[in-house]
Chain A
Amino acid sequence: DTGVSQDPRHKITKRGQNVTFRCDPISEHNRLYWYRQTLGQGPEFLTYFQNEAQLEKSRLLSDRFSAERPKGSFSTLEIQRTEQGDSAMYLCASSPWGRQGMNTEAFFGQGTRLTVV
């Protein structure tokens, strides 16, 4: 078990470009979450998947954002036409919710730091 893996760790992009981030969860975890963290703030929920189904999206997730988890394993988060306000740390977490009972926790990856210039 190598934990939750995110790639890339850092991304610098020009305003208007598209970017895609990848998250590989812990293999037996059925739930996968994306959070965004801006400087000096706590992480904020963006969206989550149960297996391949995207079950909830935050209002923070504008139509420029799209997330997928095509086979219920890894997930991608794409941001189209990036804006400077998208600069943040994007965190992925996974959880075996429901498989070990309701009393469980999420395990986080190290995040992808996005800087839009």
Chain B
Amino acid sequence: AQSVTQPDIHITVSEGASLELRCNYSYGATPYLFWYVQSPGQGLQLLLKYFSGDTLVQGIKGFEAEFKRSQSSFNLRKPSVHWSDAAEYFCAVVPPGSNTGKLIFGQGTTLQVKP
């Protein structure tokens, strides 16, 4: 079935440590790819997006993501995590060939940051 998978439900890292959140998709072609962040009780904020071109994408708040076609992955990374990065992170896609723009989301990864 076509889907977006975030294998890690919960991740804890120490402040200052590096971070990688995983996202895999299963579609016949490359979808549009997004990472959103959600703080408790808040809406979603776009961190970065990939449509085509350079496979390493820079986003806001020091985040980056790398698209790997061979692995159907779009993992989010940050070299040094700050306490304020604690939040829920969602990978999302617009399926290939879609003209609706509707997003299909993964289940999310909760990031906890230890002092």
Contact = CB atoms under 8 A, between A and B. Distances in A.
B46 A45 contact: no
Interface in B38-65: 41-46, 49, 51
A111 interface: yes
Contacts of B36: 108
A108 B104 contact: no
Nearest to B104: A45
Interface residues of A, number: 29
A42 B110 CA distance: 11
Contact of B100 (A6, A56, A113): A56
Task: Give the interface size bracket for B toward A.
Answer: 20 to 34
A42 B49 contact: no
Interface in A11-51: 31, 33, 35, 40-45, 48
Given A41-B107, A105-B34, A105-B49, A111 B42 contact: yes
B44 A108 contact: yes
Contact of B43 (A40, A104, A110): A110
B103 A45 contact: yes
B63 to A, nearest CB: 15
A65 interface: no
